[in-house]
Structure 1
Amino acid sequence: MKRVIVTYEKLTTNILDLLVEKYPYGYDFDDIISFKNAKGETVKAVEVIANDTTYLVKISSQLEKKMEDYSDDDFNYDSDNFVEENFEIS
Structure 2
Amino acid sequence: MNTRKQIRLLLTFYSGFFPATLVISLACAGLFLYLGMAALTVLIWFKVFTLGIIAYYISKYKYKEFLYYQNLGISKIFLWTASLTFELLIFGLLLILSLKLS
Superposition TM-score, scaled by structure 1 size: 0.37
- Report the structure, 1 or 2, having the larger helix content: 2
- Report the structure, 1 or 2, having the larger strand content: 1
Q: Which has the higher contact order (CA 8 A, sep 6+)?
A: 2
Superposition TM-score, scaled by structure 2 size: 0.34
